[in-house]
Structure 1
Amino acid sequence: MNVNARIVIIGCGISGISAAHRLLNSGFHDVRILEATTRSGGRIKTSSLGNIIVELGANWIHGPCEENPVFCLARKYRLLDPEALNPENQTVDIGGHLPWIPSVLTSSGQKLNAEDLYAAREMLAELLDECSVFQSEGGEPCTSVGEFIRSEVQQRVAEKWKATDAAARSLRMCMMSTVLKRECCYNGTHSLDEVGLGAFGLYKTLPGLDCTFPGGYEGLIKSLMSELPSGLVTYNQPVHCVHWNSSEKRENPVVVECADGERITADHVIVTVSLGYLKKHHSTLFHPPLPLHKLHSIQRLGFGTNNKIFVEFDSAWWDPDCDIICLLWEDEDTLVDQVPDVPRSWIKKLFGFSVLKPTERYGHVLCGWIAGHESEYMETLSEQEVSHAITQLIRRFTGNPTITPRRILRSQWFHDPWTLGSYSYPGKGCSVQDLENMMEPLPTKGSQSQPFQVLFAGEATHPSYYSTVHGAVLTGWREADRLISHYSSISPYESAKSML
């Protein structure tokens, strides 16, 4: 193909980069990316803690297998450890949860036997599995995942734990609160009360043992960017408005109005901004406004915050085989996944720390996980205030008053004006139709004489891999393929279908 169509991509995250790759490899040559910030990568953001590489954004390749484009690209660019390429690792199905060895500490400074709390983790896992069924079977008894879990727990506890003494039962319930907070991080939500029950099962996992990039996730961005023509991306170029034509007659192309006043004409625009940005700016970003059904879907889908707090120590105070440290508050035996007084108690939302491994690479570093409004509040505090809160927390739970972190580093995704949060999830009242509406181009009735002008990509537009990097890549390819298919139908040449 040799196509003269003018294509503008808004956003130089991995979705926008993937779309550009696909288009250029298929013969389109007038492709341009507009990026509001100074860097490529979007929510892939590698940083450092001293000389230790850490990920402020995307962390893992979730489900590294042949069906995962991120894994295939990382392998192509030789960015992975040999263990990650082990064929056996690609067949392990972990169901989206890493098989971590936990250590459980309590707010009174005790270390509990993790096996004693297995029953609590097992019960919650069963309930979450049941939540996934309603998407295909329907008949959900309530609107949210949190509401369903709370309505079922008391009866099941009475049946399954009737031989358990009151103190042990209370600890198990507290452990379930800890796991609920962990699920808030996985889902990128403030509370499971905000996650829609009917759509919970839309998310699909891929087989494979989740792996990381030894040299940082941004290595993937750099490898992809190195294959794009120089000058393709304009940085520090926020887009103010996309002027598209909703009428039957397409007399004018799309006009992209930039914040600095520049107006760029295009035949097609691929919008890859975050759902958080769409929620806040849709009314000014598109003229004419988005169709009502698309706007309603943007509102129904959830977009929350999940932040990390990296904490470095001079030496390890945790067991050598420990993968994750779970924090159990002994006053949370009523299924708590949010705190009543955020300014005073925000730190209680932090469910625990994962241990960065191997030690030879990361030294003695933990990564704390905190989601929701408590996480958003944490972003407003100074680094000293966060460090003090983390220090007091760890001293309380270990019973050791001398433990002192060397330094910390935290992410602040909610206050990033171009993302306004971390990633998407299906909110209450959400359905598969909403995700289909998210990916629908404008005008909604395209034809050969009037091809699609505005297309939408990004993790929030994938019907089953939302919130993931591989979902973002696939949506970038999908929208590029939509245009390739259109021009192939009026061209004697077939489009290239694969960049791998």
Structure 2
Amino acid sequence: MSTCDLSLPILKTRHTARIVIIGSGPAGVAAATRLLEQGFQNVRILEAENRIGGRINTIPFGDNVVDLGAQWCHGETGNVVYEKVKDLNVVERTGDIDSSVKFIRSNKQLLSEELTKTLMPLAEDSMPDESEEFEGSLGDYVTNKFWQAVGKLPNVDRKIATELFDQFKKSECSYEGSDTLFEVSGKGDYEDCKGDMLVHWRDNGYKTFLRLLMNSKQDQPEDLGVLNGHVELNKRISQINWEGAGELRLRCWNGELLTADHVICTVSLGVLKEQHASLFVPPLPAAKLRAINGLKLGTVNKFFLEYTAPPMPKDWPYFNFLWLEKDLLELRGSKRFWLESVTGFHIVMSQPRLLEGWINGEHARYMETLTEEEVLEGLEWLFRKFLPFDVPHPQRFLRTQWHSNPNFRGSYSFRTPLADELRTGPWDLEAPLVDVCGKPRLMFAGEASSKTHFSTVHGATETGWREADRLNEYYSRSTKSSQI
């Protein structure tokens, strides 16, 4: 008799298989709800935080809510988030906001509309097409292409071009999640969903999507819909023992021991990087470790400032900072050096009394170590330095700290040139650990494991469904084999 004879009756079924999902972000919620739909009954989510949502975190602020994490639905066609909500009157297209962006220099000089319309298209056109692949980093590519284009124009002030291009690169880093564009791979695996890239949630917040997945009551925050009774909060895992071919053994930080037939791990790439050596027993296979080491999770943080009245002139809904070289050198020698990576601010959609700002990279991680008072003092100094009008003191201030949180250690993932050198990527992170019979025992989901939609909620959601379908297919196959 073979060691794996699928003609023998299996011991577990959809009704009896014990499935533990680690993390209740969009991947975990998508996996759990899909499994329940498919007839699995013993589904359990263990969440380290005191809330569900992961990097979706909608909180009351201002006149309604703000999203501390995922904020926009990026694209429409082929976007599973947009497909779920498009007919429910909860989202709205932002449209073209580039035409309303102000570029202000550190000497309070507003970049002219003519110069903006000359230089910005060159910066935007320096980005590769979606299907374009090239060796090296994204930073090398865009730098060469931008300056080649600038060199063909007569009478362009190269100092201003440098200021604008530096700001453009910082903004692109906030989209990529990277510290610099030079650590982003030139491999064009990401696939845009066509349509508006900044579909926003009006006054609803991204939690709306999770509640739709769970089929929960929108007016009852504590209701988890189909996941009622399946989620345990404040349940942080310290060890996953997947040794052998039998049940997996999990240890919580409070010492509690659990067992499961299948584990779907949806923790962030940042947590995997920091904890994989102690989290998994035995150690993960070499291919999995190459993916964890080669991919990277960057840091993007936000600032929210609430005022008693709209703080900006109506024609200033969105403004970005351009640093003169002498001012930048002076800044770098001061305690406010971290302000270099603040890309800009904009009025929050559906909340005209709020300003939202962005910071990314190494300076974002440093900002997290400062007190809230120090951060606000720095931002108000920045406003005074750049803006040709006064901005009042806010009545309320909030900043995010995604890297400091041990349950996240960052914001979202990207592919690096190192990953290319190691010949690894999300596909290795996705690969399940199976027994000799092909039974998936330890599986991985989350945005970093998405081949084409990494760094997004729709990518994370797709990976949760992917792993649920993997289990469903296994039990469908096994059941058919036992009936032969």
Q: Which residue of 2 aligns with 1:288?
A: 282
SS in 1 for 2:398: strand
Map of 2:171 onto structure 1: 182
Match of 2:219 in 1: none
- Structure 1 equivalent of residue 105 of structure 2: 106
2:432 partner amino acid: P
Q: Within 5 Å, give how 1:132-211 maps onto structure 2.
A: 135=133, 138=134, 140=135, 143-158=136-151, 160-161=152-153, 163-165=154-156, 168-197=157-186, 199=187, 201-209=188-196, 210-211=198-199
d(CA) in 2 for partners of 1:181, 1:75: 31
Distance in 2 separating the partners of 1:244 and 1:100: 54
Report the CA distance between 1:63 and its aligned residue.
0.8
One-letter amino acid of the counterpart of residue 427, structure 1: T
Counterpart Cα distance in 2 of 1:343 and 1:393: 13
Offset at 1:155? 4.0
Alignment match of 1:71 (pick from 82, 87, 93): 82
How far off its partner does 1:352 sit? 0.7
Cα-to-partner distance string for 1:138-173 (whole Å, 9 max, x where unaligned): 5x2xx3222333345444432x22x215xx332122
What's the C-alpha RMSD, in Å, of the aligned pairs? Answer: 2.6
User: Distance in 1 between the 2:391 and 2:400 partners?
Assistant: 26
In structure 1, distance between residues paired with 2:384 and 2:394: 10
CA contact (8 A) 1:108 1:399 kept: no
| 1:430–1:119 distance in 2 versus 1, CA, 3 Å | farther
**Equivalent residue runs for 1:377-388 within 5 Å:** 377-388=366-377
Amino acid at match of 1:372: G
The one-character-per-residue Cα deviations of 1:11-70 (angstroms, maximum 9, x if unpaired) are: 0111101000111110111111111111000000112334341111000111134x2221
TM-score, normalising length: structure 2:
0.87
**TM-score, L = length of structure 1:** 0.85
Whole-angstrom distance in 2 between the partners of 1:474 and 1:117: 39
Match of 2:232 in 1: 234
Distance across 1 between alignment mates of 2:178 and 2:339: 16
Contact 2:70/2:206 (8 A) holds in 1 = yes
1:221 is aligned to 210
Deviation at 1:75, TM superposition (A): 4.2
| 2-structure distance, mates of 1:259, 1:80 | 39
- 1:118-137 pair list within 5 angstroms: 118-129=117-128, 135=133
| 1:413 equivalent among 385, 402, 411 | 402
- The 3 A distance-change label for structure 1 pair 341 and 375 is farther
Q: Tell me, in whole angstroms, the C-alpha distance in 2 between the residues paired with 1:342 and 1:147.
A: 29
Task: Describe the superposition over 1:155-210 as per-residue Cα deviations: whole angstroms up to 9, x where unpaired.
Answer: 4432x22x215xx332122111111110111111111121122x2x2111101223
- Aligned counterparts of 2:99 and 2:232: Cα–Cα separation in 1: 42
Q: Name the CA shift for 1:32/1:146 in 2 (closer, same or farther; >3 Å).
A: same
Cα offset for 1:381?
Answer: 1.4
Deviates more, 1:41-50 or 1:455-464: 41-50
2:298 corresponds in structure 1 to 304
Q: Is the 8 A contact 2:294 2:424 kept in 1?
A: no
Task: Give the C-alpha shift of residue 492 in structure 1.
Answer: 5.0
SS in 2 for 1:208: coil
Letter in 2 for 1:300: G
Counterpart contact for 1:79–1:219, Cα < 8 Å: no
SS of residue paired to 1:380 = coil
Answer whether contact 1:343 1:377 (CA < 8 A) is retained.
Answer: no
- Give 1:275 deviation, angstroms: 0.4
Q: 1:238 to 1:179 in 2, by over 3 A?
A: same
SS in 1 for 2:18: strand
1:279–1:100 Cα change, 3 Å: farther
TM superposition shift of 1:256: 1.5
Give the whole-Å Cα distance in 2 for the aligned partners of 1:481 and 1:98: 39
Aligned twin of 1:58: 70
Structure 1, unaligned runs of 5 or more: 494-500
Structure 2 unmatched ranges of 5 or more: 1-12, 217-224
Kindly state the Cα deviation for residue 114 of structure 1 after the two structures are TM-superposed: 3.3
Q: Which moved more, 1:50-59 or 1:4-13?
A: 50-59
Decide whether aligned partners of structure 1 residues 148 and 381 sit closer, same or farther in structure 2, where only a CA change above 3 A counts: same
Match of 1:442 among 415, 433, 450: 433
CA-to-aligned-CA distance 1:375-427 (integer Å, 9 cap, x gap): 11111111211111111111221133564333321111011110001000111
Return the offset for 1:284: 0.9
Q: In 2, distance between residues paired with 1:391 and 1:32?
A: 46
Q: CA 1:356/1:48 → structure 2, altered by over 3 Å: closer, same or farther?
A: same
How far does residue 6 in structure 1 lie from its aligned partner after superposition?
1.0
Change (3 A) 1:229 1:48: closer
Cα distance in structure 2, aligned partners of 1:68 and 1:100: 26
**Which residue in the other structure is 2:415 paired with?**
426
Q: Secondary structure of 2:240's match?
A: strand
Q: CA deviation at 1:109?
A: 1.0
Higher deviation after alignment, 219-228 or 51-60: 219-228
SS in 1 for 2:410: coil
Give CA-to-partner distance per residue, 1:303-324, whole Å, 9 cap, x none: 1100011123344454425442
Q: Quick check: 1:7–1:266 contact (8 Å CA) kept in 2? A: yes
- Measure, in 2, the Cα distance between the counterparts of 1:260 and 1:129: 49
Q: Residue 484 of structure 1 corresponds to which residue in structure 2?
A: 472
| Whole-Å separation in 1 of the counterparts to 2:442 and 2:397 | 42
Task: Assess if the C-alpha contact under 8 Å between 1:458 and 1:472 holds in 2.
Answer: yes
> The residue matched to 2:250 in structure 1 has which SS?
strand
Within 1, Cα distance between the matches of 2:291 and 2:132?
20
Question: What's the CA shift for 1:364?
Answer: 2.2
Q: Is the 8 A contact 2:290 2:424 kept in 1?
A: no
**1:94-119 deviation digits (Å, cap 9, x = unpaired):** 8xx86552112111112222341233
2:8 corresponds to which residue?
none
Deviates more, 1:2-11 or 1:271-280: 2-11
Structure 2 CA distance for partners of 1:98 and 1:33, relative to 1, 3 Å: farther
In structure 2, relative to structure 1, the CA distance for the partners of 1:470 and 1:279 (3 Å cut) is same
Q: Which amino acid aligns with 2:270?
A: G
